[in-house]
């Protein structure tokens, strides 16, 4: 073993050596104490003994080494051949792992075949096994490198490596599936990023607007990215109809690696989820019936616009709150399906009239809509829009063979830098809307918010509360205004007028509280009480006296009103021919056909129908040709225009025409508002049968009616002469 020992001194690692003659088997033995330090004495002795109990061939075949099978076969085959002449101390090495059976420890080793040395007696071949940690690490690195390469080759990710000069040094098969227009793997070596982007542009696979409109700018941007990359970069790329996540990483040496992960399916799923999320948001923030934004969206939008105003991004904004007049009557009379159809038509009209791309339209709820106008504070422009909305909403609506005409009240509030979000602009618009509605209860109107309106609103709310109490406790009373024969001034009958005193026992004008009764829906209950009380009290009057009761449009729209009239007449015992039900022309504005049907139902009971305030508002002689009424009451405005000192012949002739037409149609004509003798004389001269006014009698309580009846003996006035 002398030569082996000498040879082994060239190594710093642990060595186990064997001298072997050409025709005999040698014995292994530890040559360095480093073996003992590495394995420990017990482990070393066991390992050497194991080697000596079997030949190298048997040891390898028994699995004591992890050397690849082909390497083992080549080495063993080589042992069968004569050793070539080797100069000096050169040797051949075969890396090998020895797996020690006790604890599975793996020791790296190299089998060295030394040159045949002549000891003087025979040729001696030395076999050395060098145990070394460095050998193990080298082999591990080699195996790891191989594993990484295999993984890169099999990866579905498109991967490429670039050297510090930005030239391609590696690309895997997946990379060439993404870029089939590139040269093969060998042809791609050395290509730079910019060269590849040019190929992409030529192939037309880059789904980027800039690449299509300005290829040079696109290439310049990619070149800048490549030159400025410090650590890593990530982006979403669309290539050839597919979507990828593109990673590019730079190492400390300056080399780079790029990865493209195909996320097309995930991207499509994500896009669908986002679309679904958008649809859900639409459901949350959209009104189902009209398709407009809803209250939740409106609140968020106004908050956002207010924030922009506070930040100085806009100069101001305005809100127009639209409330449909008497829409409840449509639902009550024709059902919610018809009401919904009307709302959908009106929503389209509001969106068309109020939307200009910047405005936001929303349905606040029920029959209320809102237009938000960002960066708009001009009162002239807002006034113009309100008029457009009123005109559009007022056009006839056809639904289920019926024709509706709707009115609306609009409240306008403006937010500027001075008041920003300090107040709730919707509340201001609501206050202004109620002001417009109270100003013209049956007509479309608009109003701008003013702070004083808050006091008016509080007063109105107190009035509503007091009215509800009055309804529940029946705190109303009736006054009666007498009606007379024009020729004889004999008493013909009375008109029942509703009166109410507030909690302070002060009379409240009917023009103030009756519209509120109609708006709140209390008019049905109060109107039924008025009808019943008037019939009950008139029953005790002389049989030739009639009683007239006003009926609101809300009551006209009630399909059960005719039955209520019949029940009250039966309960009180008042003959139907002594009852007159007075209506105004406004009942025909919403639905002419339905209104006519209601009036015919009343007349079928035997009661007479009077058209009140004729000549005011929408009056037209055309109405008289088809409206089923028995009595025509000329509005007081005609009488008030007559001045004996400056006789208005035109007014006189119009009044004469009304009277003559009424007579020709078999209607009784009554003039209201007679306050002077010259007016009385005019009416007598043109043949008006009956009159009513302060000249002959003011509204009076029931007690005064009874006193009047006691001192009056009134013969019956004819239908046409009074």
Of 106-120, 517-531, 596-610, least confident by mean pLDDT is: 106-120
Yes or no: say if 83 and 126 are a contact pair by the CB < 8 Å rule: no
Q: What is the mean pLDDT of the chain?
A: 78
CATH code, 317:
3.30.70.270
Do 496 and 360 fall into the same domain? no
Q: Give me the pLDDT at residue 550, please.
A: 96
pLDDT bin (cut points 50, 70, 90) of residue 14 is low
CATH code, 230:
3.30.450.20
Please check whether residue 470 lies inside any domain of the structure: no
Q: Give me the pLDDT at residue 34, please.
A: 59
Closest CA to 628 of 588, 657, 658: 588
Please check whether residue 571 lies inside any domain of the structure: yes
Of 202-211, 488-497, 557-566, least confident by mean pLDDT is: 202-211
Residue where a domain terminates, one of 423, 449, 475? 449
Do 71 and 177 fall into the same domain? no
Q: Give me the pLDDT at residue 36, please.
A: 63
Please check whether residue 576 lies inside any domain of the structure: yes
pLDDT bin (cut points 50, 70, 90) of residue 532 is very high
pLDDT in tens, 443-459: 889 999 998 888 887 88
Do 245 and 354 fall into the same domain? no
Please check whether residue 676 lies inside any domain of the structure: yes
Locate 136 and state its tokens.
């193990």
pLDDT in tens, 84-112: 333 333 344 444 444 443 344 445 454 55
Do 87 and 172 fall into the same domain? no
Cα(478)–Cα(361) distance, integer angstroms: 46
Q: Give me the pLDDT at residue 113, please.
A: 47
Do 28 and 174 fall into the same domain? no
Do 70 and 57 fall into the same domain? yes
Q: Give me the pLDDT at residue 488, please.
A: 94
Do 144 and 121 fall into the same domain? yes
Locate 579 and state its tokens.
């009852």
CATH code, 661:
3.20.20.450
Sign of CA dihedral 507, 512, 515, 518: negative
Q: How many domains is the chain built from? A: 4
Do 91 and 47 fall into the same domain? yes
Is the pTM value of this prediction over 0.95? no
Please check whether residue 174 lies inside any domain of the structure: yes
Closest CA to 653 of 617, 678, 685: 685
Do 539 and 648 fall into the same domain? yes
Share above pLDDT 70 across residues of the chain, in percent, rounded to a whole number = 73
pLDDT bin (cut points 50, 70, 90) of residue 38 is low
Please check whether residue 599 lies inside any domain of the structure: yes
Do 442 and 590 fall into the same domain? no
Q: Give me the pLDDT at residue 27, please.
A: 59
Do 217 and 264 fall into the same domain? yes
Q: What is the DSSP string of 568-593?
A: HHHHH---GGGEEEEE-TTHHHH-HH
Yes or no: say if 429 and 449 are a contact pair by the CB < 8 Å rule: yes
Do 358 and 419 fall into the same domain? yes
**Of 71-85, 136-150, 682-696, highest mean pLDDT:** 682-696
Q: Give me the pLDDT at residue 385, please.
A: 94
CATH code, 4:
3.30.450.40
Residue where a domain terminates, one of 152, 169, 197? 152
Q: Decide if pLDDT at 235 tops 90.
A: no
Q: Which domain covers residue 222, as residue numbers?
A: 155-268
pLDDT in tens, 39-72: 667 766 766 665 565 444 444 444 444 444 444 4
């Amino acid at each position: 073993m002398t030569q082996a020992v000498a040879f082994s001194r060239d190594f710093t690692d642990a060595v186990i050596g064997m001298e072997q003659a050409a025709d005999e088997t040698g014995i292994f033995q530890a040559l360095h104490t480093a073996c003992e330090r590495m394995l420990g004495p017990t482990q070393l002795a066991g390992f050497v003994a194991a080697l000596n109990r079997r030949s190298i061939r048997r040891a390898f075949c028994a699995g004591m080494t992890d050397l690849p099978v082909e390497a083992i076969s080549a080495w063993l085959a080589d042992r069968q051949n004569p050793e070539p002449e080797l100069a000096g101390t050169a040797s051949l090495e075969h890396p090998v792992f020895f797996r020690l059976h006790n604890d599975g420890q793996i020791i790296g080793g190299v089998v060295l075949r030394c040159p045949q040395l002549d000891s003087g007696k025979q040729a001696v071949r030395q076999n050395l096994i060098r145990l070394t940690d460095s050998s193990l690490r080298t082999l591990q690195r080699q195996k790891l490198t191989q594993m990484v390469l295999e993984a890169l080759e099999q990866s579905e990710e498109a991967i490429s490596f670039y050297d510090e000069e930005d030239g391609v040094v590696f690309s895997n098969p997946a990379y060439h599936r993404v870029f089939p227009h590139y040269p093969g793997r060998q042809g791609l070596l050395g290509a730079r990023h910019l060269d590849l982007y040019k190929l992409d542009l030529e192939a037309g696979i880059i789904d980027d607007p800039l690449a299509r409109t300005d290829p040079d700018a696109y290439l310049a941007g990619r070149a800048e990215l490549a030159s400025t990359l410090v650590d890593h970069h990530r982006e979403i790329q669309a290539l050839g109809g597919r979507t990828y996540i593109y990673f590019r990483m730079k190492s400390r040496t300056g080399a780079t690696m790029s990865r493209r992960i195909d996320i097309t399916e995930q991207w499509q799923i994500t896009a669908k989820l986002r679309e679904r999320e958008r649809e859900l948001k639409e459901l949350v923030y959209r009104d189902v019936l009209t398709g407009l934004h809803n209250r939740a969206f409106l609140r968020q939008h106004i908050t956002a616009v207010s924030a922009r105003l506070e930040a100085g991004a806009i100069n101001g904004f305005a809100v127009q709150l639209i409330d449909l007049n008497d829409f409840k009557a449509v639902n009550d009379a024709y059902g919610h399906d018809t009401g919904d159809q009307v709302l959908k038509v009106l929503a389209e009209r509001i969106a068309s009239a109020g939307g200009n791309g910047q405005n936001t339209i929303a349905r606040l709820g029920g029959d209320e809509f809102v237009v938000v106008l960002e960066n708009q504070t001009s009162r002239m422009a807002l006034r113009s829009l309100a008029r457009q909305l009123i005109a559009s909403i007022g056009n006839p609506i056809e639904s289920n063979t019926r024709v509706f005409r709707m009115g609306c009240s609009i409240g306008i509030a403006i937010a500027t830098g001075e008041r920003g979000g300090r107040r709730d602009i919707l509340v201001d618009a609501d206050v202004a809307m109620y002001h417009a509605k109270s100003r013209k209860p049956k007509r479309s109107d608009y109003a701008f918010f003013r702070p004083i309106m808050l006091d008016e609103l509080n007063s109105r709310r107190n009035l509503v509360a007091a009215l509800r109490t009055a309804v529940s406790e029946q705190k109303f009373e009736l006054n009666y205004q007498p009606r007379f024969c024009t020729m004889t001034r004999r008493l013909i009958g009375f008109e029942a007028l509703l009166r109410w005193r507030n909690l302070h026992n002060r009379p409240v004008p009917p023009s103030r509280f009756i519209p509120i009764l109609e708006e709140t829906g209390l008019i049905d209950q109060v109107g039924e009480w008025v009808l019943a009380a008037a019939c009950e009290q008139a029953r005790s009057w002389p049989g030739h006296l009639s009683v007239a009761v006003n009926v609101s449009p809300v009551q006209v729209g009630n399909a059960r009103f005719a039955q209520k009239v019949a029940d009250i007449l039966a309960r009180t015992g008042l003959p139907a021919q002594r009852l007159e039900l007075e209506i105004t022309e406004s009942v025909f504005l919403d639905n002419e056909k339905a209104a006519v049907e209601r009036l015919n139902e009343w007349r079928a009971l035997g009661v007479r129908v009077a058209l009140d305030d004729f000549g005011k508002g929408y009056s037209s002689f055309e109405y008289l040709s088809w409206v089923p009424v028995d009595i025509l009451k000329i509005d007081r405005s005609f009488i008030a225009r007559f001045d004996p000192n400056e006789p208005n012949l035109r007014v006189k002739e119009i009044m004469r025409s009304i009277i003559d037409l009424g007579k020709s149609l078999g209607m009784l004509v009554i003039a209201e508002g007679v306050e002077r003798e010259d007016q009385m004389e005019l009416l007598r001269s043109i043949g008006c049968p009956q009159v009513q006014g302060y000249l002959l009698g003011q509204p009076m309580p029931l007690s005064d009616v009874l006193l009047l009846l006691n001192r009056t003996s009134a013969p019956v006035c004819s239908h046409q002469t009074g």
